[in-house]
């Protein structure tokens, strides 16, 4: 613990008191670091949460208190309200602040013994003697003049002030968790084209087609005429044969 100094003021009055201590803290420039983690809820078992992180790793968050709240779509939810598939985002804000703690100790007493330049023994108000170390190069004010430890004499009434400064670092963290409810996939809509079972349109409904001209079948008619002629000839020949035979008889 570094000692900044000890100041002794010589006084002609009879002052005896205990050590009085005051402490002040001065803050330096704070350093703020923001870390964002994203993941998807895998499962929730009681107060334990399993999350698949953005990089694919699986993390287990055990014993999450019921008082911890997660803002999901503007609503405050607890660990028991989380469902698989929910997207979570945790923001961790870490603030590191350098601090200087200054302690001032003031003592008033009567010089009992001085061992320059190392220490001085003062008699306190309750007649108890206490030893105080004298920092190297410390000066004392005696009747408006600055003297070192060698200028102190037994019986002098003095007020001594000891100042120490201790550097400290204060780290604070704030965590906030938000989430979103996944949008369900759109339901596929089956579009079926209705096939008509009605009879095909009638010939009247179809465009009129030009009639095919009929070609006279002359070959068939010729054979028919020949057959008729042949039958007539045979009939005539038979009739003649019968008449001729009758005459001869």
Supply angle C-alpha 8, 11, 13, rounded to 5: 145
How many C-beta neighbours within 10 Å does residue 201 have?
8
Other Cβ atoms less than 10 A from the Cβ of 181: the count is: 13
What are the Cα distances from residue 240, in Å, to 227, 244, 249? 20, 6, 14
What are the distances in angstroms from CA 207 to CA 202, 203, 210, 214?
10, 8, 10, 21
pTM of the predicted model as reported, rounded to 2 decimal places: 0.48
String of DSSP letters for 102-128:
EEEEEEEEEEEEEETTTEEEEE-TTS-
d(CA 112, CA 128): 10
pLDDT tens per residue across span 48-102: 999 999 999 999 999 999 998 888 888 898 999 999 998 999 899 999 999 999 9
Asked whether residue 14 carries a pLDDT value surpassing 50, the answer given is no
Q: Which residues pair with 133 in a beta bridge?
A: 119
pLDDT in tens, 119-129: 888 888 888 88
Q: 175-190, pLDDT tens digit by residue? A: 888 888 876 655 444 4
């Amino acid at each position: 613990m570094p000692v900044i100094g000890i100041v002794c003021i010589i006084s002609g009055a009879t002052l005896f008191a205990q050590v009085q201590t005051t402490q002040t803290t001065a803050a330096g420039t704070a350093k703020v670091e923001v870390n964002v983690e994203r993941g998807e809820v895998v499962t929730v078992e009681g107060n334990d949460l399993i999350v698949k992180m953005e990089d694919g790793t699986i993390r287990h968050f055990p014993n999450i208190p019921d008082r911890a709240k997660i803002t999901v779509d503007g609503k405050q939810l607890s660990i028991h309200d989380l469902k698989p598939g929910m997207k979570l985002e945790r923001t961790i804000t870490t603030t590191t602040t350098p601090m200087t703690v200054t302690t001032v100790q003031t003592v008033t007493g009567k010089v009992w013994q001085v061992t320059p330049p190392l220490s001085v023994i003062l008699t306190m108000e309750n007649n108890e003697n206490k030893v105080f170390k004298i920092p190297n190069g410390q000066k004392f004010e005696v009747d408006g003049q600055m003297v070192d430890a060698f200028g102190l004499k037994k019986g002098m009434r003095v007020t001594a002030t000891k100042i120490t400064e201790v550097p400290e670092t204060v780290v604070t963290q704030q965590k906030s968790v938000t989430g979103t409810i996944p949008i369900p996939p759109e339901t596929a809509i089956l579009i079926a084209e209705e096939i008509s079972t009605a009879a095909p349109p009638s010939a009247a409904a179809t465009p009129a087609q030009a009639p095919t001209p009929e070609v006279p079948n002359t070959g068939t008619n010729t054979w028919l005429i020949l057959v008729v002629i042949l039958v007539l000839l045979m009939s005539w020949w038979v009739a003649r044969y019968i008449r001729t035979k009758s005459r001869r008889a």
